[in-house]
């Protein structure tokens, strides 16, 4: 039970990896990459969690000595989300170009290398 959240994180990530490996469409593969990356959000937030900790926003009842959850990993998760969005949009643009060039987005039908 102590490591439950960590295993959920790895499970989500592996689900995304399996999706990429068995993918029949590049759009599906890009979405699976986002799923795999979502596992890292779960891991980051799980690492910073503390039982009884509150959100790290000061004021009112939350003061310097109040137990808060780790804000550093939350900031990292925010960075993670921004990078994920950037990567997804870039990959989708590439998929559009591939679809235009080869009239196919099934990775198994895109075997030929072009120089």
Partner 1 sequence: MTRRIRLVVLVVGIVAFAAAMSLAFTGMPHFGGDIHAYRDAAVSGTYAHDTANVVSSINFDQRGFDTFGEETILFCTVVGVAALLRPVHRERRREVSDAGLVLESTGLLVYVLFPLTIVLGVNVVAHGAVTPGGGFQGGVILSTGIHLLYVGGRYSLLRKLRPLVWFQQGEALGVVLFGALGIAGAALGSALFANVIPQGQLSDFISSGTVPLFNIAVGMTVCSSVIVLLASFLDQTLAIRADAGNDSVRKPRSGFEEGSAS
Chain positions contacting partner 1, by CB under 8 A: 2-7, 10, 14, 17-18, 21-22, 46-51, 55-59, 64, 67-75, 78-79, 81-83, 86-87, 89-90, 92-94, 96-97, 100, 108
Closest to partner 1 by CB, 108 vs 115, is 108
Closest to partner 1 by CB, 59 vs 115, is 59
Least separation in angstroms between residue 53's CB and partner 1 is: 8
Closest to partner 1 by CB, 7 vs 115, is 7
Which backbone phi and psi does 10 adopt, to 5 degrees? Answer: -65, -35
How far apart (Å, rounded) are the C-alpha atoms in residues 44 and 72? 9
Least separation in angstroms between residue 82's CB and partner 1 is: 6
Least separation in angstroms between residue 115's CB and partner 1 is: 19
The CB-based long-range contact list for 80-87 (8 Å cut-off, 24+ gap) reads: 80/37, 80/40, 80/41, 80/44, 81/41, 84/34, 84/37, 87/33, 87/37
How far apart (Å, rounded) are the C-alpha atoms in residues 13 and 46? 14
């Amino acid at each position: 039970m102590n490591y439950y959240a960590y295993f959920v994180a790895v499970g989500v990530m592996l689900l995304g990896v399996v999706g990429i490996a068995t993918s029949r469409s590049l759009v599906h593969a890009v979405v699976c990459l986002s799923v795999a990356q979502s596992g890292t959000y779960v891991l980051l937030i799980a690492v910073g969690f503390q039982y009884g900790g509150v959100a790290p926003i000061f004021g009112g009842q939350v003061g310097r000595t109040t137990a808060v959850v780790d804000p550093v990993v939350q900031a990292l998760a925010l960075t993670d989300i921004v990078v994920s969005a950037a990567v997804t949009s870039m990959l989708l643009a590439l998929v559009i170009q591939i679809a235009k060039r080869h009239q196919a987005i099934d990775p198994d039908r895109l075997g030929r290398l072009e120089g």
